[in-house]
Amino acid sequence: MALNKQMADAAAAMDFETATALRNEIARIKGAAPLQQGDPDSVTVGQPPPGSMGLGTQVPVRQPPKGWVKPKNPIR
């Protein structure tokens, strides 16, 4: 409760850096803090293997509805 009051006082005094640090400390105590860089449980994202990334590789191919006909080009 004391940290909550300190955080509210810091925010009211427009000291947002201190308020943020106190908010993070409260979250860490509650066990809801985000993982910090270097924590053993943190996950790092690496580069995808070759060939798995490219234009449209993850996009399913859309098929036109049954019976659909491509419209004629009005310029020709």
Residues 6+ away with beta carbon under 8 Å from 28: none
| 17: its two tokens | 């850096």
d(CA 25, CA 31): 10
The string of DSSP codes covering 38-76 is: T-TT-----PPPTTS-STTTTSPPPPPPTT--PPPPTT-
Q: List, for residues 16-74, the tens digit of each pLDDT value.
A: 999 988 888 888 888 776 556 555 554 455 665 666 655 555 555 567 788 888 888 88
> Full-prediction pTM beyond 0.75?
no
Contact, 25 vs 3, CB < 8 A? yes
